[in-house]
Amino acid sequence: MRKLGESCDCNVTIPATSAGWDGSVRNVIPTGKRREAEGRVRTAASIRDSQVKWHHRGMTFSHQPRTVSGIQATSDSLHLGNYIGALQQFVVHQESHDAFYFIANMHAITVEQDPAELRERTLRTAAQFLAAGLDPEKSTIFVQSQVPAHSRLSWVLECTTSMGEATRMTQFKDKSAKQEHVSLGLLTYPALMAADILLYNPQMVPVGEDQRQHLELTRNLAERFNHRFGQTFVVPEPQILRTTAKIYDLQNPNAKMSKSLPSPAGRIDILDEPKALTKKIKSAVTDAGTEIAFDREAKPGVSNLLTIYSSLTSRPVEDIVDEYAGKMYGHLKVDLAEIAVEALRPVRERTLELLDDRAQLQRILDAGAAKADEIAEATLRDVFDRVGFL
């Protein structure tokens, strides 16, 4: 099992180089030997350049576009916002994309983590990926730290980033203001995210609104590198994830549901026991008055419950509001609790089954890392050659 590296969020229109699910990969050619092997091996740049020419001629490629995305392993369970806003979309994208999804354990250590806890949470997150419907026959599922090219490209991109750009990142300013000990990794986090993206040369990157600024930096770094060293990276376009399913904290409906908020009572976790989940929803903060209506400004609490209801049932919010006309908040909470329990039950049960066979879970992750590693190393060799590394 490899012990380095990483990856992030993206969509590509170049094909992956071949790697079997048995984890086998082709031998990596040292950068110093690259020129003598050019006649036998196509680099990532040569594959990309030829496809860009085809695209400009209006041709349609037979290969699926690529999508790459990741979630941090910073809690024992992913929450409902992760499930609706990310995992459900991952499952849809794997049907039409060459899909790569990773557990972001390297991004996780920008704040202090207990080593044993991080290992456990990494496996639990992987199990939840699979339980939610990701199929290792359709998606490449891996752990960041098993693909060394991500941290290596990150250093090159850090040297392309100015201090001003790094310190202007809103997330850095917000998070550093709340922490007594601010790690250098928190400052350079966007460069690592850029490496996660650019290694796979995506044309479109699915990100949440809160990551838009980081993606703009990624675009700037790609353009800057290309200008200095020649066309190397595709400059990705953002694909902002749908906002209709933005889930807020049950106890503070003006804050996004997050693993970082202090009270677990405000968070619906995928692995919550039915009784605990029901209690959280019944205890959710609502608003003044009794009318069940959707109004994010005047009624953030009940609007959040309606959004969750709509997301889990695929029903329009307007229809739900009509159904509960004249009813009390309590009626909505009771019904929503039952819906949430049944919607998450199969994911929870399947996760626990997968965690009973950790050897198989590790085999899936190792095979995914082998495939991701081969593709990432091809891009890295091209970058190293362009900057003058031996």
Is position 295 annotated in a ligand binding site? no
Q: Are residues 334 and 278 in the same domain?
A: yes
Q: Are residues 361 and 350 in the same domain?
A: no
Residue 258 within a domain = no
Q: What is the pLDDT of residue 12?
A: 35
Residue 294 within a domain = yes
Q: What is the pLDDT of residue 14?
A: 33
Q: Are residues 53 and 131 in the same domain?
A: yes
Residue 3 within a domain = no
Is position 258 annotated in a ligand binding site? yes
CB 250 within 8 A of CB 267: yes
Q: Are residues 239 and 328 in the same domain?
A: no
Residue 5 within a domain = no
Q: Are residues 380 and 315 in the same domain?
A: no
Residue 318 within a domain = yes
Residues in the chain, pLDDT under 70: 1-62, 241-245
Q: What is the pLDDT of residue 382?
A: 97
Is position 74 annotated in a ligand binding site? yes
What is the domain-level CATH number for residue 344?
1.10.240.10
Residue 220 within a domain = yes
Catalytic residues: 175, 256, 259
Q: Rounded to whole angstroms, how far apart are CA atoms 367 and 311?
A: 33
Range of the domain at 277: 264-355
Q: Rounded to whole angstroms, how far apart are CA atoms 40 and 135?
A: 33
Q: Are residues 351 and 364 in the same domain?
A: no
pLDDT digits (tens, 9 = 90+) for 15-62: 332 222 222 222 333 334 333 333 333 334 443 443 433 333 232 333
Residue 1 within a domain = no
CB 265 within 8 A of CB 273: no
Identify the sign of the CA torsion 244, 246, 248, 250.
positive
pTM: 0.80
Residue 224 within a domain = yes
Q: What is the pLDDT of residue 41?
A: 34
Q: Are residues 47 and 173 in the same domain?
A: yes
pLDDT digits (tens, 9 = 90+) for 338-366: 999 999 999 999 999 999 999 999 999 99
Identify the sign of the CA torsion 352, 353, 356, 358.
negative
Q: Are residues 33 and 142 in the same domain?
A: yes
Identify the sign of the CA torsion 286, 290, 293, 298.
negative
C-alpha distances out from residue 306 to 317, 336, 341, 362, Å: 6, 9, 16, 38
Question: What is the number of domains present in the chain?
Answer: 2
What is the domain-level CATH number for residue 158?
3.40.50.620
